[in-house]
Structure 1
């Protein structure tokens, strides 16, 4: 988690090697909101589907 230039809280998902593999699209006013968002990703990511938008 980090604060952006506007002072809002944001998150990034990093691989084991430290490389950023996803950036959260939502900025949170409160740190507690960002932590809830991170918790939601942790709980739901394993079950998330993949939308292949390259198929046309």
Structure 2
């Protein structure tokens, strides 16, 4: 059984976002961007749920935005 819950919410700017919150209250992941509609937000969330299981972990020598 999962110890985390996805939350969908509207931010102060009127954009829709999602976040994955552990039972202890810590935010594990978030959408990283605001969506114009709740529907698009939920589509983004579903994409993460479908594409993340079994995803590889890679180490980057030069992370994006570090130069």
TM surpasses 0.5: yes
- Which structure has the larger Rg over C-alpha atoms? 2
Distance 1:16 1:52, change over 3 A: farther
Unaligned regions of 5+ residues in structure 2, if any?
A: 1-7, 63-67
Shift of 1:17: 3.3
TM-score by length of 2: 0.67
**Whose helix proportion is higher, 1 or 2?**
1
- Runs ≥4 residues deviating over 4 A: none
TM-score, normalised relative to structure 1: 0.78
RMSD: 1.7
Measured in 2, the distance between the counterparts of 1:2 and 1:22 equals 14
Question: Cα offset for 1:15?
Answer: 2.2
Higher strand share: 2
2: CA distance, partners of 1:13 / 1:21? 5
Residue among 36, 46, 53 paired with 1:29: 36
